[in-house]
Amino acid sequence: MTADMDQLAGLLREAASEKVLPRFRSLTSQDVEEKSRGDFVTVADKEAELFLTPRLIDLVPGSIVVGEEATTADPDLLEKAAGEELTWYVDPIDGTALFVAGEPGFAIMVALADKGEVVQSAIYFPVLNEMFLAEKGAGALFVGANSTSYLTARTSPQSLETADAAFYTKHFPGQWAPGLKRLKERVSSYRNEMCAAREYTDIARGAKDLASYHRMLPWDHAPGSLVLSEVGGVARNVETRQDYRPRILQGPHILAANEELWQAARKVLL
């Protein structure tokens, strides 16, 4: 069983309208906590997740929800999602630091996994009014303020020298430092948006080409991985050569616009 995509999109818009946007650029110091250094959570994160959780279950009866904030409170939730249940992964605000800073590039993300495989996802940038929807085998749809269109597969770039990238290196073990340095030196440019939703969707629609991650928490990566794969992109572990799955919590992973670029990045990284 899967969700009605129109209802799913409407649910994210509703969460944004009721729980997130009223707090945008209106947060007080009491509304923000720091879970760890540089890792923020706000009252809007918590309220949006509480809003989405029962409604997602209603969309797909029998499903369970693994939300970022609920998992912070109960880490065992990730283990509970290791079975065969239909599982929603929820990031109520991806790019919370941007939200706290009053920057518009944050997103609400959800993904539905069946037997450990992502089958549906939705990513919504509320301030930008941009929605990305994906269903396994059915493509990825972009819904903007004035247009709606299916994203098309990207056959270029295939060369690192013409690729724009993002490198998230904080969680990589030290052994990967030389390879990451080589990769940075090969690409045309690199810039981190500090928002996984933006990195995945930028690669999917051609605004960026490559990204590296090691910490692979499912609410950060499940939604975007389906959008990317549905347009011929790659999100894959460079050691095991296995495509991303929500149960895989560590990399090293490379995201790439196409298979050829992924292979080129892997060769340099290793």
Tokens for 240? Answer: 């095991």
Euclidean distance between CA atoms 124 and 109, whole angstroms: 6
Q: Quick one: 169 and 102 in the same domain?
A: no
38 occurs within a structural domain: yes
Q: Quick one: 167 and 246 in the same domain?
A: yes
Q: Quick one: 230 and 117 in the same domain?
A: no
Q: Quick one: 257 and 143 in the same domain?
A: no
Question: Given this model, what pLDDT does residue 78 score?
Answer: 82
171 in Cβ contact with 240 (< 8 Å)? no
Question: Given this model, what pLDDT does residue 83 score?
Answer: 65
Instruction: Please report, in tens digits, the pLDDT of each residue of the chain (270 residues total).
Output: 899 999 999 999 999 999 999 999 999 989 998 877 767 899 999 999 999 999 999 999 999 999 998 998 888 888 777 667 899 999 999 999 999 999 999 999 999 999 999 999 999 999 999 999 999 999 999 999 889 999 999 999 999 999 999 999 999 999 999 999 999 999 999 999 999 999 999 999 999 999 999 999 999 999 999 999 999 999 999 999 999 999 989 999 999 999 999 999 999 999
Residue among 209, 241, 201 at smallest CA distance from 225: 201
180 occurs within a structural domain: yes
Question: Given this model, what pLDDT does residue 195 score?
Answer: 97
Tokens for 114? Answer: 């069946």
Question: Given this model, what pLDDT does residue 82 score?
Answer: 66
Q: Quick one: 63 and 22 in the same domain?
A: yes
Euclidean distance between CA atoms 2 and 195, whole angstroms: 27
Provide long-range contacts, Cβ within 8 A and 24+ apart, for 259-262. Answer: 259/232, 259/234, 260/158, 261/157, 261/158, 261/159, 261/160, 261/163, 261/209, 261/210, 261/234, 262/234, 262/236
Query: Distances in Å between the alpha carbon of 30 and those of 43, 55, 100, 141, 265?
Result: 9, 28, 12, 38, 43
Q: Quick one: 248 and 145 in the same domain?
A: no
167 occurs within a structural domain: yes
Q: Quick one: 14 and 113 in the same domain?
A: yes
Q: Quick one: 136 and 263 in the same domain?
A: no
Total structural domains within the chain: 2
Question: Given this model, what pLDDT does residue 263 score?
Answer: 98
155 occurs within a structural domain: no
In terms of residue numbers, what domain contains 53?
A: 5-150
Question: Given this model, what pLDDT does residue 39 score?
Answer: 79
Q: Quick one: 138 and 219 in the same domain?
A: no
Percentage helix, strand, coil for the chain under 3-state DSSP, each rounded to 5: 40, 30, 35
Picking from 150, 172, 198, the residue at the C-terminal end of a domain is 150
Question: Given this model, what pLDDT does residue 157 score?
Answer: 94
Question: Given this model, what pLDDT does residue 74 score?
Answer: 86
62 occurs within a structural domain: yes
pTM: predicted TM-score of the whole model, two decimal places = 0.95
Q: Quick one: 190 and 120 in the same domain?
A: no
- Residue 110 has a CB neighbour count (10 Å cut-off) of 27
Q: Quick one: 10 and 117 in the same domain?
A: yes
* Strands laid side by side in the 148-150 sheet: 64-67, 87-94, 107-114, 117-125, 130-135, 139-143, 148-150
